[in-house]
Amino acid sequence: QKAEWEKLKTEPSVTKDGIAHTIAANIGTPDDLQGVLDNGGEGVGLFRSEFLYMNSADWPTEDEQYEAYKKVVQGMAGKPVVVRTMDIGGDKNLPYLQLPDEMNPFMGYRAIRISLDKTDIFRTQLRALLRASNFGELWIMFPMIATINEFRSAKKIYEEERQAMVDAGQPVGEIKVGMMLEIPAAAVLADQFAKEVDFMSIGTNDLIGYSMAADRTNERVSYLYQPYNPSILRLIKYVIDSCHKEGKFAAMCGEMAGDQIAVPLLVGMGLDEFSMSATSMLKTRSLFKQLDSKEMAKLADKAINAKTNEEVIQLVKAAVPSEA
Ligand code: PEP
Ligand code: MG
């Protein structure tokens, strides 16, 4: 089976009926790049930039960040690289950032909330990204966006930094600016967000946790962490449909994008990009080849009208023989 996947390295990611979807990788550091290339990645769908901050004794400088982003963008040779701005907080702390003691860090001061508060740090990151954009195809996305105003504020700061560079005669690439869709309130309002963003990437790790109000690492409640619960599937479908209505690109970079039960459903919903750990990419490309888009659309329709997580698993297993 491994040998068969190996052959798929240089092939496009298409379904049995020839519909193409992008398979991209989630990475944490530039060192992960080789794994992406070795496994035939068609892009980087999530570069978790916070690792630059976590592996540093103090705030990483603009130049340090620039070098890291440039390396990845150059290494991908024109294939899109989606960099997520700093997602610190929750369970990710920095020794040099005194975070307040909070009852609920996952619902507290984190990600874009910190960036919009400490705008000097945010601006440094954006300048590094703008400079790196000259070396390939770089997109930027903001994590943990809950409201339209947050997206607008972040985008405005980005536009200011971009304009300052243009005014100074520095070159900058064409950059798409999007958001992580990982908060239920944003999913419900996806039709409005889709009018403002260039693209969305669904972060199912957080979206499922916040929707079910369950932490999957807490074993007493981890049974509630249900990726195939029709409630979650409806949110995802609504986000994808909302993007497409506005002609925007819909991606997913949570674990679900490489999950073999979820993939047939996501193909049925017409998800544009599946971003996952590099080691899952060829297996997923192989699964695509067994799937007929129209059949999967019908399957997805049945799934969102099912009642339970378990029912959906049964539906997929019955429809996709390799999952039996
Ligand atoms: C997610 O929430 O699905 C996601 C990809 O972000 P992270 O896992 O880094 O929070
Ligand atoms: Mg997340």
Ligand 1 centroid to 74 CA: how many Å?
24
Residue 123, annotated ligand binder? no
Q: 258: Cβ below 6 Å to ligand 1?
A: no
Q: What is the pLDDT of residue 1?
A: 74
Ligand minimally distant from the alpha carbon of residue 208: 1
Give the C-alpha separation, 202 to 275, whole Å.
Answer: 10
CA–CA–CA angle 166, 172, 174 (5° rounding): 120
Asked whether 264 and 286 are in contact (CB, 8 A), the reply is no
pLDDT per residue, tens digit, the chain (324 aa), is 778 888 899 999 999 999 999 999 999 999 999 999 999 999 999 999 999 999 999 999 999 999 999 999 999 999 999 999 999 998 888 999 988 899 999 999 999 999 999 999 999 999 999 999 999 999 999 999 999 999 999 999 999 999 999 999 999 999 999 999 999 999 999 999 999 999 999 999 999 999 999 998 999 999 999 999 999 999 999 999 999 999 999 999 999 999 999 999 999 999 999 999 999 999 999 999 999 999 999 999 999 999 999 999 999 999 997 754
State the closest ligand 1 atom to the C-alpha of 256, by its place in the atom list counted from 1.
3
Global pTM? Answer: 0.97
Asked whether 264 and 320 are in contact (CB, 8 A), the reply is yes
For CA atoms 118, 120, 125, 129, the dihedral sign is positive
Ligand minimally distant from the alpha carbon of residue 254: 1
Q: What is the pLDDT of residue 5?
A: 83
Residue 84, annotated ligand binder? yes
Q: Which residues contact 242 (CB under 8 A, 6 or more apart)?
A: 190, 191, 193, 194
| ipTM of this predicted structure | 0.98
Q: Which residue minimizes the CA distance to atom 4 of ligand 1? A: 203
Give the C-alpha separation, 312 to 302, whole Å.
Answer: 8
